Amino acid sequence: MCLSGEDVEFIQFFGEVLTPINLLILIAGTIGGLILGATPGLSPTMAVALLIPFTFQMEPASSLILLGAVYTSTVAGGAVSGILVNIPGAPANIATVMDGHPLAQQGRATEALHYSFISSLLGGLVGVFLLIFFTPALAQLALKFGPAELFWISIFGITIIASLGGGSVVKGLIAGGVGLWLSTIGYNPVLGEERFAFSEHLAGGIHVIAALIGLFAIPQVLTLLGEAKKTGEITFAELRNHSVVKSFLFTLSRVKAVTIGTVVGCIVGVIPGAGGQIAGLVAYDQTKKFSKDPSKFGKGEPDGVIAAESANNAMVGPSLVPLLTLGIPGSPTAAVLLGGLLINGLFPGPDLFTVHGKVTWTFIDSLLLGQVFMMIFGLAIARYSRFVTKIPNHIMAASVVILAIFGTYSVQNNISDVIVMLVLGTLMYYASRLGFSAAPLVLGLILGQLTETNFLQGQMIAGEDMIGYFTSGTINQVVIGLCVLSIVYSIYNERRQISKRRATASEA
């Protein structure tokens, strides 16, 4: 909403958040969300869904404050396990792992966590302010995204797969291609036909969370056990102390990374169904492309962490715009929040900001304050990262396996998911020794499902004029142009890197 007339209500009702009961709920939800987010497999969507039954007897404003706090902090909390043990807490934290864990291995785990939570605050605040001031305009934009637009958004995401291949474009494309194939296993999302289900454990397809945990956790476990067998030592360098003030000033100085992450997160957040994983990965990729030295990414570059975390938190506020105004969830977690609204007798639309203005604005104000609490408690957690880095390898490996199995099984209470997770993880371990990366594979799996679903839906809508349906309209044409630019730039950048390596080799 614009700051005139009714829109000053967001200031008027800020005091409601500061009442003792609501403030206590906000703090408890933030701390609980950080803990749940740091647990592999417990995604923001699942965390919010698990808490809905506990809100039945609460006041509407209090229940939404709890759900909103958990949503915000769980997204940020997923970076903790990603940075410390190389396992993203949720798909939204995949990009954070690529530079966050290398920083931890260099003894800079506290520093990496500082960057993560500070950039989460910066992106999150901008996202919530967009929700407050620009809701009507953003809601109209969200309405313009149909199957064709979402299809091209997915294709744009696929074009960045090559850049996530750990230095090799070819290996990145191969891993991404495997991920796209994995996304087709199971049932056709529109026609219901079964495909590639050569085992009963694959009958329902490969769940993203099972794949995510397996591809990141199991290779890490096998690597830890291998190192423990050889040396019996921990994998982290000696942990360095780092000042919060220095981290804050450094993050603020990385204007390019923060800006790209925040802008990408806000745009992706408004698009219904896109999700934080796309926001984080696209922001990471664009920051890498605009960097003066892209070769630093993947080896412990702070900008990678800052861009990814500012993006996946900036999407939180905008993802609620289509939900609150149109009843269209902008993310899976927002879909669960819709249930929380309906349970409390709150129906999306204009009445939400007029008839139920007190509850709605109290909820939105709590998201704003929740971002600050998330950073405060996140920085407090970062102080204790040294305890994780001092755990012996064999104990760390056992802990990760328990978390991986628990997180995977809890998604659908299905033992098949656990088996798929273990098999994919073991195969990924051997693939990683050949230079393949898990990130493009996971991205291919996520985007494959989104691409296929929207293509098939668009095909049914378009009828005989498929080309016209998928290429007409300003949004389609702009995103198609971005896809072409992304591919051309990737080719150019790869050729430039090859030329640099040849020049260095000739000088040597």
For residue 297, which of 489, 89, 98 has the smallest C-alpha distance? 98
Tokens 């040849």 sit on residue: 502
Q: Range with the lowest mean pLDDT among 126-130, 232-236, 375-379? A: 232-236
CA distance 91 to 93: 5
CA distance 441 to 206: 13
Percent pLDDT > 90 in the chain is: 14
CA distance 102 to 115: 14
- Band of residue 240 on the pLDDT scale cut at 50, 70, 90: low
Give the residue, 199 or 472, on which the prediction is more confident.
Answer: 472
CB neighbour list of residue 60: distance below 8 Å, 6 or more residues apart: 344, 345, 346, 356, 359
Q: What is the pLDDT of residues 283-304, one digit of tens each?
A: 998 898 888 888 888 888 999 9
pLDDT at 232: 47
Helix (H, G, I), strand (E, B) or coil at 195: strand
pLDDT at 168 over 60: yes
- Say what the alpha-carbon torsion angle 40, 372, 247, 239 is, to the nearest 10 degrees: -40
CB atoms within 10 A of CB 271: 24
Residue 396, CA distances (Å) to 100, 403, 428 in order:
18, 11, 19
What is the chain's mean pLDDT, rounded? 81
Q: How many CA atoms lie within 13 Å of 464's alpha carbon, on the beta-carbon side?
A: 0
CB atoms within 10 A of CB 226: 13
Give the residue, 142 or 381, on which the prediction is more confident.
Answer: 381
- Band of residue 387 on the pLDDT scale cut at 50, 70, 90: low
- Band of residue 371 on the pLDDT scale cut at 50, 70, 90: very high
DSSP code of residue 166: T
Give the residue, 424 or 502, on which the prediction is more confident.
Answer: 424
CA distance 330 to 311: 15
- Band of residue 27 on the pLDDT scale cut at 50, 70, 90: very high
pLDDT at 309: 92
Mean pLDDT of 45-70: 84
Q: What is the pLDDT of residues 442-458, one digit of tens each?
A: 878 878 888 888 888 88
CA distance 331 to 312: 11
For residue 144, which of 330, 271, 278 has the smallest C-alpha distance? 271
pLDDT at 8: 62
Q: How many angstroms separate the most distant Cα atoms in the chain?
A: 73
- Say what the alpha-carbon torsion angle 448, 261, 312, 375 is, to the nearest 10 degrees: 160
Q: At what angle do helices 44-51 and 60-85 cross, to 10 degrees?
A: 150
Domain residue limits, the chain: 5-495
pLDDT at 134: 79
Mean pLDDT of 176-187: 86
- Band of residue 233 on the pLDDT scale cut at 50, 70, 90: very low
CB neighbour list of residue 109: distance below 8 Å, 6 or more residues apart: 83, 84, 103, 236, 239, 382, 385, 386, 388, 389
pTM of the model: 0.78
Mean pLDDT of 467-493: 83
Q: What is the token pair recorded at 435?
A: 């230079």
- Band of residue 5 on the pLDDT scale cut at 50, 70, 90: very low
Most confident of 152-166, 218-232, 318-332, 411-425: 411-425
